[in-house]
Amino acid sequence: MLLLGLTGSIATGKSTVSSLLARPPYSLPIIDADLIARQVVEPGTAGYNAIVKYFLPTTPDLLHPDATPKGPPLNRPALGRRVFGSGEERERDRKVLNRIVHPAVRREMYKQMVWAYLKGNWAVVLDVPLLFESGWERYCGTILVVGVTDPKIQMQRLQARDAHLSEEDARNRVISQGDVREKAERCLRRGPGKGVVVWNDGGREELEKEIRRVMDEVRKSSPWWWGVLLWVMPPVAAAVATVSWWRMRKVQLQWEEEKKREKAKL
């Protein structure tokens, strides 16, 4: 089974691409890290309790006034203002939040991947906004990056979607997820069929054409018979996954080493 990593940046259209891949003619199962991240911090969960314990003393509006039977949900805009943006304090708080949420998200993603494999799917989409940053890159046989050529497009779309965000809030959220054009470059370094990029500067029709193009490329590198073989022969699937992990880890380390050298020259 192919692990198809789907990433991009906020307001580039990644969720739209995810919905397209979930429907015919692709009909792929979607493992949505954002959705899982919401589920693991719902009232009553261990993640929710840890966030409240750390953030509530200094964030009075952390909890939403509309309570559920299990308790008041998190006020996400307030939490976002606390952790997004630049500055030592925000960076520290963002790391604390990640340490609470990420392990729980990973456990649930592993469960869903195993279930997708047992059901005989030829591929499963790992919808992870911070796929490169969180280390999921090496586990994916193929990565699809959804990008735009100008960050201003992201800010405009973000403010149109979330009217409560100021221009500064939108800019901070875009910056916090890194330059999507760099993610696209990093993705393509993986090689044909292993890294594909969808540019989403236009409308829905153009996006659908781009999806057809890149999925044809992905399908050529992972034909149906290959998926069947890996499903009926788990030891072969495990061996292939190990080799793929090693190769993609090598690509990841080479990229990171190049970036370190570039920073050292500054």
In tens, the pLDDT along 45-104 reads 999 999 999 999 888 898 988 877 888 999 888 888 888 877 888 889 899 998 999 898
Q: Which two tokens stand for residue 135?
A: 């280390």
Tokens 């800019």 identify what position?
Answer: 171
Measured in degrees and rounded to the nearest 5, phi and psi for residue 118 equal: -65, -30
Q: How confident is the model at residue 68, as a pLDDT?
A: 78
Contact between residue 173 and residue 10 where contact means Cβ atoms under 8 Å apart:
yes
Domain final residue, candidates 85, 118, 151:
118
Q: What is the dihedral of CA 62, 67, 72, 73, to 10 degrees?
A: -80
Q: Does position 266 have pLDDT exceeding 70, yes or no?
A: no
Q: Does position 259 have pLDDT exceeding 90, yes or no?
A: no
User: Radius of gyration (Cα) for the chain, nearest Å?
Assistant: 19
Q: How confident is the model at residue 50, as a pLDDT?
A: 94
Portion of the chain with pLDDT greater than 70, in percent? 100
Q: What is the pLDDT confidence band of residue 135, given thresholds at 50, 70 and 90?
A: confident
Based on the fold, state whether residues 256 and 135 are members of the same structural domain: yes
Distance CA 150, CA 152 (A): 5
Q: Does position 119 have pLDDT exceeding 80, yes or no?
A: yes
Q: What is the pLDDT confidence band of residue 183, given thresholds at 50, 70 and 90?
A: very high
Whether cis (ω within 30° of 0) applies to the bond prior to 235 is no
H-type helices in 10-146, by residue range?
14-22, 33-39, 46-55, 76-83, 88-118
H-type helices in 119-233, by residue range?
151-161, 167-176, 180-188, 204-221, 224-232
What residue numbers bound the domain in which 47 lies?
Answer: 33-118
Domain final residue, candidates 118, 144, 178:
118
Based on the fold, state whether residues 225 and 104 are members of the same structural domain: no
Based on the fold, state whether residues 226 and 153 are members of the same structural domain: yes
- Looking up residue 68, the CATH number of its domain turns out to be 3.40.50.300
Q: How many domains does the chain have?
A: 2
Q: How confident is the model at residue 90, as a pLDDT?
A: 85
Based on the fold, state whether residues 43 and 102 are members of the same structural domain: yes
On the CB side of 75, CA atoms within 13 Å amount to 14
Based on the fold, state whether residues 207 and 239 are members of the same structural domain: yes
CA separation (Å) from 215 to 29, 60, 185, 242?
15, 47, 18, 24
Based on the fold, state whether residues 161 and 202 are members of the same structural domain: yes
Domain final residue, candidates 48, 83, 118:
118
Based on the fold, state whether residues 138 and 243 are members of the same structural domain: yes
